[in-house]
Amino acid sequence: MAEDVAAVGAPAEVYRSYLKKGKLGFQRCRGCRSAIFYPRVLCPVCGSASFAWEESGGGGTVYATTAVYHRDREPHNVALVDLEEGFRMMSRIEGVPVEEVEVGMEVAFAVREEDGEPAAVFVPVAKTGEG
Amino acid sequence: MSLRAGAAIVGVAESDLGEVGPGFTPLDLIGQATSRALDDAGLEKVDVDGLFSASAYYHMPTLSVGEYLGIRPRYSDATNMGGSSFVSHLFHAASAINAGFCEVALIAYGSTQRSASGRLVSGSEALPYEAPYKPRYPVSAYALAASRHMHEYGTTREQLAEVAVAAREWAKLNPKAFMRDHLSVEDVIDSRMVSSPLSILDCCLVTDGGGAALVTSAERARYLAKAPAYLLGAGEAHWHRNISQMPDLTTSAAAESGPRAYEMARLGPEDMDVVMLYDAFTINTVLFLEDLGFCEKGEGGPFVSGDRISPGGELAVNTNGGGLSYNHPGMYGLLLLIEAVRQLRGECGECQVADTNLALVHGNGGVLSSQVTAILGSEETL
C-alpha cells in the first residue's frame, strides 16, 4: 500500500532506507501518476505535493552508457538506466566488461555498498531460451 | 517591448590567453581584458554603470570584480548557469539597458585554471544521486549523450572527430589559438580514451584566459569607436542540472532557446553568416547544429563531415578554433561573443569570413543544461 510522502520522512532518507533493505524505492505522483526520481516533495511534472513511495520491480534498460578511464586502474562503467516503472536514474552496470555495456541492454537492480553507503547498481539480465 | 537592436556590443577584448604563468589571479585577467575592451570601445571606466560576471573562483563575482576594477554599478547581475552565463549576461544587460536601469554594461570573466592546477576549476556541489557512480564531470555527461546519439542516429566516432579536425583547421589560421598543429580524424580516434566514446581530443582545452565585453544602447553605440554589433535576438532555456534528469539526451534546450532568439530577430538559421557554438566537447557541435535548425535532428554527424564546417566549407562554425583548439578557460561563453563581434567588424584576419553581417552565438552550461542563443548583426541588418 502506498504511504504518504510527508508521513515517512525526508525524501533522501526514505530512498536510503529502501536501499538498506535491498529495495529500490521511487515515488509516484497521485495527481498525474508520473514516476518520480530522484525523490522530492513536489511533482516536477504537474506540481502536485501528493504522492507516494513505491518499490520498483528492478527491471530496466540501459538508456546511455560510458566507460570512464583512469591512468592507474581499470575503467568503470557509468550508465543511465530506464526503469520499467517509467523513471530514469544514473547507475553502474556490473558483471560485464565495461565496453560490452550497450544501449538497449536489459538489466536488473542489485544493491552494493559504495563508500559505506548502499547504492543501486544493475546487472545484465541473462538471456534465456524460449519456454 | 522588443529588445531587437535596442542594445549593441561596442567593445571587446581577451586577456592574455593560454598559460599566463604563476601568480596571476582571475581578477588580474579581468582587469587586463577590461582595460583593453574600454580602449576598443573608446569608453572610460567611469562610464560603466552595469556589471555582469560569473565565476568558479569568486562566490560573489560582481562584488569581487567591482571592487578590483573600482566600478560601483547601479545594476549588478551574477547569474551563473555555467559557461553559457555570459551570453545570458548579454541578454540581461540589453534588457536592463532597454529598461533604463543602466547605460553601459561590462560583462567580464577570467580564469587561471591552467596555471593554477591544469584542471577544470569547478565550484560545483556534489550531486547526491549521481556522485556514488563516479562519473567524471563534465565529460562523462557529454559521453552519455554521445552514446545515445550514436545509438539512435548512427553517429560515429569519425563524425565526432570531424568536429575537432574542423576546429583545428580554423585554429591554424588564428595566431591566438592554443593548439595549431595538424590534426587528423585518426589522431582523434587514436587519442587517449577519457569517457567513451569521447577521447581526450574530443574534449575542450584547459587554458587560462578571460574576456570583457561592453554593451550599451543602440543610440549611444553609434557614437563610439567601432562599428556596433547589435543584439537582434536572444533566448535562453534550461531543463535540468543532473544529466540523469535530461529528458532526451539527443535534444538540448537549444531547441527552445534558438527559436526564441530567431523569433525576436525575425531571422532563421539560413540567414546566419557565422555560427559560434559552445564546443566543450565534439558532440556539442553536432547537437547544437541540429537543435538550432542548421540540419535535421540526427543529421548532425553527416553535416559536420567532409570539411563542411572547416574554413571554406558550407557553414562557418567556430571561426576562432573553438573551445577545442583556440582556448577554453573553464567557462568559454564570453570568448564566443568576442569572436562574433570581430567577425561582424571584419577584424578576424585569416579567419575572417567575407561579408559577415549576421552571427549566431550559442552558449552551453553545466552538462548540456543551460542553453542561451544570441543573434548579432551589423548596421546593415537593421
pLDDT in tens, B234-284: 999 999 999 999 999 999 999 999 999 999 999 999 999 999 999 999 999
CB contact under 8 A, B136 and A68: yes
Residue A2's pLDDT band (boundaries 50, 70, 90)?
Answer: very low
| B145 touching chain A per CB within 8 A | yes
CB contact under 8 A, B151 and A103: yes
Residue A51's pLDDT band (boundaries 50, 70, 90)?
Answer: confident
Which helix or strand (DSSP H or E) is residue A14 part of? Answer: helix A11-20
Backbone phi, psi, residue B236, to 5°: -135, 155
Q: Which of B119, B142, B147 to mutate to test the interface with A (most CBs of A within 10 A)?
A: B147
Whether the Cβ atoms of residue B65 and residue B30 lie closer than 8 Å to each other: yes
Residue A1, pLDDT > 50, answer no
Query: Could you give the C-alpha distances from B124 to A27, B55, B61, B80, B121, in angstroms and in order?
Result: 27, 11, 15, 11, 9
Find, in chain B, the residue whose alpha carbon is nearest to that of A66. Answer: B196
Other residues' Cβ atoms within 10 Å of the Cβ of residue B1: 7
Residues linked to residue B208 through DSSP beta bridges, in sequence order:
B18
Query: Could you give the C-alpha distances from A60 to A85, A88, A105, B250, B343, in angstroms and in order?
Result: 9, 9, 8, 20, 49
pLDDT given at position B125 = 87
Which helix or strand (DSSP H or E) is residue B316 part of? Answer: strand B316-317
Q: Is the sign of the CA dihedral A6, A10, A15, A16 positive or negative?
A: negative
Question: How close B25 comes to chain A (CA, Å)?
Answer: 30
CB contact under 8 A, A65 and B144: yes
CB contact under 8 A, B242 and A76: no
Strands B274-277 and B358-365, by their bridges, are parallel
Q: Which residues of A touch B249 (CB under 8 A)?
A: 63-64, 80
Find, in chain A, the residue whose alpha carbon is nearest to that of B140. Answer: A66
* Mean pLDDT confidence for A70-99: 97
- The low-confidence residues of chain B, meaning pLDDT below 50, are none
| A16 touching chain B per CB within 8 A | no
Give the cell for residue B161.
572527430
Residue A130's pLDDT band (boundaries 50, 70, 90)?
Answer: very low
**Average predicted confidence (pLDDT) for chain A:** 92
Find, in chain B, the residue whose alpha carbon is nearest to that of A63. Answer: B148
The HSE-up count of residue B373 (CA atoms within 13 Å, CB side) is: 31
pLDDT given at position A5 = 62
- Chain B, residues 19-48, CB within 8 A of chain A, namely none
CB contact under 8 A, A90 and B130: yes
Question: How close A46 comes to chain B (CA, Å)?
Answer: 15
- Provide the residue type at B349 as one letter: G
CA dihedral B195, B201, B202, B206 (to 10 degrees): 90
Region of residue B307 (phi > 0: left; psi between -120 and 50: alpha; otherwise: beta):
left
**Average predicted confidence (pLDDT) for chain B:** 97
Q: What is the ipTM of this complex?
A: 0.96
| B130 touching chain A per CB within 8 A | yes
Q: Which residues of A touch B197 (CB under 8 A)?
A: 66
Whether the Cβ atoms of residue B201 and residue B313 lie closer than 8 Å to each other: no
Q: Write down the H helix ranges in chain B.
A: 26-41, 61-69, 85-99, 113-116, 139-153, 157-171, 185-190, 218-221, 254-265, 282-291, 300-304, 322-325, 333-345
Residues linked to residue B231 through DSSP beta bridges, in sequence order:
B376
pLDDT given at position B1 = 52
* Mean pLDDT confidence for A88-101: 97
Q: Using one digit for the tens of pLDDT, what is the confidence trace for A9-49?
A: 999 999 999 999 999 999 999 999 999 999 999 999 999 99
pLDDT given at position A131 = 40
| A78 touching chain B per CB within 8 A | yes
* Mean pLDDT confidence for A110-121: 93
How does DSSP classify residue A49?
-
pTM attached to this predicted model: 0.97
pLDDT given at position B152 = 98
| A92 touching chain B per CB within 8 A | yes
Other residues' Cβ atoms within 10 Å of the Cβ of residue A34: 17
| A63 touching chain B per CB within 8 A | yes
